[in-house]
Structure 1
Amino acid sequence: MEYRGAQETASAWEVSTRLVQRLCAEGRVDGARKVGGSWVIPLSTQKPADLRLAKDRDAGHCPEDVPASASLDKADDTPLAILGAAVPPAVQPGADALAGLMPLMNSAFVPGACGEAIESIEDLEAREIARAEYYYFSGRAEEAARASSAFLSHPDLATRLSAHLIYAYANLSLGNINSARFALAELRLSLHTDASSSPQSRIAEAFVTYAASVLLHLPAPDDMPPAETFFSLLPPGLRAFALYMHAHRLYLEGDYSRSLGLVEAALLMMPSDYPIPEIYLHLVAVMDHMSLRQTDAARTHLLAAWALARPDGLIEAFGEHHGLLGGMLESVIKKDWPEDFKRIIDITYRFSAGWRRIHNPVAEETVADNLTTTEFAVSMLAARDWTNQEIGAHLGVSANTVKSCLASSFRKLGISRRRDLQQYMLR
């Protein structure tokens, strides 16, 4: 079946693009669906016959035979959450709950064209969510938190869930732990919504709840549906990110080979370039290969992730995963891209500080918070039985430098043996 966008459809029907978008949202256009935040309409779909109410709404007034309440809609493109309007949503959570979730993550684009991908999203609110995603994935936490906060009370489920996910992780980096906890709690509560909600809505809720637990290395809620019941129903970009999360969970369980196999299969099956989930998939592959002491393969995946990320500055994931990458950033990125490396390390310090304040109390673990990023990377390798010589060769420093680094870590942690490092490290 052939499709066309809302703007092209509006031209063919001789109406406004906004009217077409509203008709689609109200379920009055046969076969219309959302892809990456934009409506697409089958080429064969005819213009609905009953356009009078929609036209009057678009003009900002009600026809005489329609109750005034029918026209309750915002007069401009300001989100209802900002206006504080307690107006029932015009669009109930339904078939488009998945297509509208994390629209940038779910967008295919050529590396370097992230901005164009955002601007091509026709739905105005989905475009703003995508912009908030871009702020987050490019390490601009303050802008991400500000942009997503406008949609925390939005009536549309996909918009609201996306906003809470972005807001939660952005506030980790900003040190606003109460704000992060609030958003994470809202995501978990989403699983307890009305059981009569649509299957697509339940899948969207499960996806963000899974993200809220796996990325913090915390157990999933007891009422979380099994992954195999919803992964296959996600659109391509979200499915790829869900597979990353599942591979990350397998990594945490120590099942490195299975995690790696899942990543390789996911990358092979990608229908086109979805840079954001692919970056995360490559990074978990680095984690797996380093755990298996396969440094050459780890380097290959790191460079693949870097090739996807650098053109658009999508460096947040590298900062998030620094401690799990086995010194690979120091080995590969630091030498050739020193300024980018500095930005990544800045992200690492900010993100990991907030991450530990959420993770440590819940998991009842004590991941070290007083080591430099280099000390942490060296200590992670030492805790995995790498010798000083092996660590030095990997990082391009002398064995004596490694020894001094470990001595500093031991002093800060109050330990005297390598085997005591593990209790302060990430898994």
Structure 2
Amino acid sequence: MLYLTVKEAAEKWGLGTRIVTLYCTENKIEGVIKRGNLWLIPEHAQRPADKRRREQPAPQPSLSEDLAHLLAATAGTMPHDNPDTVLDTVNEERMRLQYEGEIAYLRGDFSTTMACFQRTRGDNAARLRACPVTIAATISLGDYPAYTEIEAYLEKCAEVHKGSGAAAIAEQALATAAVSIIAPNMVPGWLKEGDFSALAPQARPNALYLRAKYFYCLHKYDAMLSVAQTALTLSAQPQGFTTTDIYLRMTCAVACHCLGRDDEARHWLLKAMKLALPHSFITPFAEAVTALGGLMEQCLEREYPAFRDAVLTQWKRTWKNWISFHNQFTKDNITLMLTLREYHLALLVAQRVPYAKIAEQHCISVGRLKNIMLEVYEKLYISGREELAKYII
């Protein structure tokens, strides 16, 4: 057998001679022998474990990595026959909370959606993942204070993680409020341009839905329909459906109605109803009653009369909440909801400066000024100068 000296073993193991000598003295090296003052160490002896050396903890994934993992894990479809069984397919609480919050929202149980969000406290990835549906719940409840807390959290995330996937998801969640409150100027630039490169693939169907809603805010209904149809084609999964799948069909229905193509609108609306109403998912329809005029009531009465009262009752309740939320949101964000030119003109109108004088100052006709103000009133969901003064002065 070949032996190494203490010095040779120390060099081999990358240790000091003193520590190797100590190992020999304490008989921690198998097969070591002593000849006089000389320690002889078997050539194939293993370096003893150093209890003083602590293993380094495994590196923790970044927020963007953790969020991408969670998005992938919660992007699965709900079975057509029984969507609730999806809750039995997840083995982590954070994943279950996401599905539970979405299903509760679809059934109009917004308080449960909010409760699921509260249970994500301390888990930033789960919290970011749950923000879009929770923001929708705050709007349906008219709970503006709860929204402002979420808004502050998302703005901080977007700033701290700027340029990352996590920041893009935070901005996407904020866009949920912007398109819901008809504030297209507040939509992030990448969503306006359709550049989803910073998003995980699983987040892109919802981003396409928000982009379609952005076009709705701009009254670009052809573009709205095109984006929604494209998103449906890309996300089609015959084994089940997602919340976004329902909303994309509703988006197609609204776009067709706005384009005067009510037969197509009815087709898309019935497809959404067939997917959702058998499971008491009434929220997407309650949200669209106003946008579809009488078409919603017609389809419910003819095809799903058992759900007519539930949908319309929820619409009456949440529409008032939407108005309340919209008014508070507008007061806080009016300079973002209007262009700079619109804001300057609106301020003068609210101050009761005569239209002729405002038109002369801004080198436009009185007719053009009136058209601009009609667009302002439409954006703010108000009817005239008196209401405008409440927001802008």
Scaled by the length of structure 2, the TM-score of the pair is 0.63
The aligned counterpart of 1:230 is 196
Tell me what 2:244 maps to: 277
1:355-381 Cα distance to aligned partner (Å, 9 max, x none)? 22222344479xxxxxxxxxxxxxxxx
- Give the 3 Å change call, closer, same or farther, for CA 100–114 of structure 1 in structure 2: same
Checking the alignment, whether the CA contact within 8 Å between 1:92 and 1:156 is kept in structure 2 is no
Tell me if 1:252 matches 2:220.
Answer: no
Which of the residues 169, 181, 190 maps onto 1:204? 169
**Root mean square deviation, CA, Å:** 3.3
- 2:141 is aligned, of 171, 174, 181, to 174
Shift of 1:225: 3.7
* Percent identity of paired positions between Structure 1 and Structure 2: 20
In the TM superposition, what is the alpha-carbon distance from 1:70 to its structure 2 partner? Answer: 7.2
Q: Counterpart in 2 of 1:95?
A: 65
Q: CA offset at residue 147 of structure 1? A: 2.0
CA contact (8 A) 1:173 1:351 kept: yes
- d(CA) in 2 for partners of 1:223 and 1:259? 17
Instruction: Identify the residue that residue 370 of structure 1 maps to in structure 2.
Output: none
State the Cα distance separating 1:164 from its structure 2 match: 3.4
CA distance in 2, matches of 1:204, 1:135: 22
CA distance in 2, matches of 1:118, 1:333: 29
Tell me if the contact between 1:103 and 1:126 (Cα under 8 Å) persists in the aligned partners. Answer: yes
Q: 1:218 aligns with which of 183, 187, 202?
A: 183
The higher radius of gyration belongs to 2
Name the residue aligned to 1:155: 123
> Which residue in the other structure is 2:98 paired with?
129
Question: Residue 280 of structure 1: SS of its match in structure 2?
Answer: helix
User: CA 1:108/1:256 → structure 2, altered by over 3 Å: closer, same or farther?
Assistant: same
Q: Does the 8 Å contact 1:102/1:129 carry over to 2?
A: no
Question: Following TM superposition, by how much is the alpha carbon of 1:280 offset from its aligned partner in structure 2, in angstroms?
Answer: 0.7
C-alpha distance after superposition, 1:137-163 (max 9, x if no partner): 221112111222121x32332x11133
**Residues 305-346 of structure 1 deviation map (CA, whole Å, 9 limit, x = unaligned):** 111112332221111222112222111013432331222122
Is 2:253 the partner of 1:286? yes
Q: Which runs of 4+ in 1 moved over 6 A?
A: 421-426
Q: Secondary structure at the match of 2:184?
A: coil
Aligned partners of 1:220 and 1:192: how far apart in 2? 19
The one of 252, 268, 274 equivalent to 2:233 is: 268
Residues 145 and 167, structure 1, Cα contact 8 Å, conserved in 2 = yes
Q: Are 2:286 and 1:319 equivalent residues in the alignment? A: yes
Partner Cα distance (1:202, 1:423) in 2? 28
- What is the CA–CA distance in structure 1 between the aligned matches of 2:378 and 2:61, rounded to whole Å? 50
Q: How far did 1:220 drift?
A: 5.0
- More helix per residue: 1 or 2? 2
Are the structure 2 counterparts of residues 65 and 316 from structure 1 closer, same or farther at C-alpha, using a change threshold of 3 Å? farther
AA at the equivalent of 1:234: A
Taking structure 1 as reference, are residues 120 and 291 closer, same or farther at Cα in structure 2, changes over 3 Å only? same
Instruction: Report the CA distance between 1:256 and its aligned residue.
Output: 1.0
SS in 2 for 1:122: coil
Look up the equivalent residue of 2:90 and give its one-letter code. Answer: I
Which residue number corresponds to residue 78 of structure 1? none
1 CA distance for matches of 2:292 and 2:197? Answer: 26
Question: Residue 171 of structure 1: CA displacement?
Answer: 3.0
Superposition deviation, residue 269 in structure 1: 2.4
Q: Quickly say closer, same or farther: Cα 1:109–1:173, change in 2 above 3 A.
A: closer
CA separation in 2, counterparts of 1:341 and 1:103?
A: 35
Task: Spell out the pairing of 1:398-409 with structure 2 (5 A cutoff).
Answer: none
Cα deviation 1:97-129 (Å, max 9, x = unaligned): 13424965x222332332122221232211122
Q: 1:246-395 counterparts in 2 under 5 A? A: 246-272=211-237, 273-363=240-330
SS at match of 1:109: coil
**2:269 & 2:198 partners in 1: Cα distance?**
27
Q: Distance in 2 between matches of 1:323 and 1:141?
A: 20
Q: Distance in 2 between matches of 1:146 and 1:129?
A: 11
83, 86, 103: which one aligns with 1:114: 83
SS in 2 for 1:95: helix
Structure 1: gaps of 5 or more residues:
1-62, 72-88, 366-420
Which SS does the other structure have where 2:123 is aligned?
coil
- Residue 64 of structure 1 deviates from its aligned partner by 9.4
Paired amino acid for 1:268: T
